[in-house]
Amino acid sequence: MNQTRIEGSDPGTAELALDALRAVIDPEMGMDVVDLGMIYAVEANEGRVRVEMTMTSAACPMADSIVRDARAVLERSLPEPAEIEVELVWDPPWTPAMMSDEARSFFGWEG
In tens, the pLDDT along 59-81 reads 989 999 999 999 999 999 988 77
Provide the pLDDT confidence category of residue 100 given band limits of 50, 70 and 90: very high
CATH number at residue 76: 3.30.300.130
Domain that holds residue 98: 5-106
Gap between the Cα atoms of 85 and 70, Å rounded: 10
How many distinct structural domains can be found in the chain? 1
Before 81, cis peptide (omega within 30)? no
70 belongs to a structural domain:
yes
Nearest CA to 90 out of 60, 69, 48 is that of 60
Residue 68 is assigned to a structural domain of this protein: yes
Q: What is the pTM of this model?
A: 0.93
**Residue 111 belongs to a domain:** no
The string of pLDDT tens digits covering residues 45-57 is: 988 999 999 999 9
Q: Which of 44, 70, 40 is nearest to 56 (CA)?
A: 40
User: Does residue 34 belong to any structural domain of this protein?
Assistant: yes
